[in-house]
Amino acid sequence: MSNAAKYISHQPDSQGYINYSEQEHDLWQQLYQRQITNLPGRACDAYLQGIDALNMSVDKIPQLPDLDRVLTNTTGWKTAAVPALISFGKFFELLASKQFPVATFIRTKEEFDYLQEPDVFHEVFGHCPLLTNPAFANFSHMYGQLGLAASKEDRVFLARLYWFTVEFGLMQAKEGPLNIYGGGILSSPGETLYALGDKPERRPFDLLDVLRTPYRIDIMQPIYYVIEHIDYLDEIAKMDIMAYVKQARELGMFEPTFAPKVKVASS
């Protein structure tokens, strides 16, 4: 599934460090400074605590060994440098061994606002802070183990669980504010504001419903699922998820709430 032809992927040296260019560091700085101001009052406390714990550089792309020292000490996780998109099998294998894949390229200036492939900003800024949280880390580990053992058909349903939690999850305690914990939102200024606004539909988390909900990766999400607190991920991890997957397969998918993607005719 590797597809980074238009990006510059880097190979770490023997110590795990990458020699990024000044232009690449400049892109990181712009992305970081633009988004960090959007997060107070919107990102969940566990994420903001993770940002503080990682103490990542503002003006340079963080080096993975530096992040690993913090992650290993807090939850036993570490990162794994990958060139771009990887197969489902490799993805699950890494999570099952408590390694979070991080692409070694950063988006181009032309795709500053949006790109479909996850880059180093999405992975490090969006996801790594929450890997310092035990509940999030445990859920990610469990998810990797499940996916590694699942069939190709079941992995399609498991992908929806990941999408509506790790990537695009929201949380709201009773009588509390609506907050973000999904890395796909936390790394996107536009979706950060949109997700907490009036346009999308927000539903209480229901595992069976999540597994039956279609999504598109190239639009603002019309539906988000909301948990009450970050520790609820531990409760999900204890559920018989594969039994729910079987039930979801029997019931079938919900009707999409979005328009189908328009296919561009080849010339």
Tell whether residue 117 is among the known ligand binding residues. no
Q: Concatenated DSSP letters for 79-140?
A: EEEESS---HHHHHHHHHTTEEEEES----GGGSS--SS--HHIIIIIIGGGGGSHHHHHHH
Looking up tokens 């032309």, which residue turns up? 110
Parallel/antiparallel/unpaired status of strands 99-103 and 78-82: parallel
| Whole-number Å distance between alpha carbons of 263 and 27 | 31
Measure the CA–CA gap between 186 and 177, rounded to whole angstroms: 16
Say if residue 127 carries a ligand binding annotation: yes
**229 labelled binding-site residue:** no
Give the SS3 label for residue 172. strand
Sequential DSSP letters for 14-35: TTS-----HHHHHHHHHHHHHH
Q: Active-site residue numbers?
A: 122, 127, 167, 187
Annotated binding site for Fe cation: 122, 127, 167
Annotated binding site: 122, 127, 167
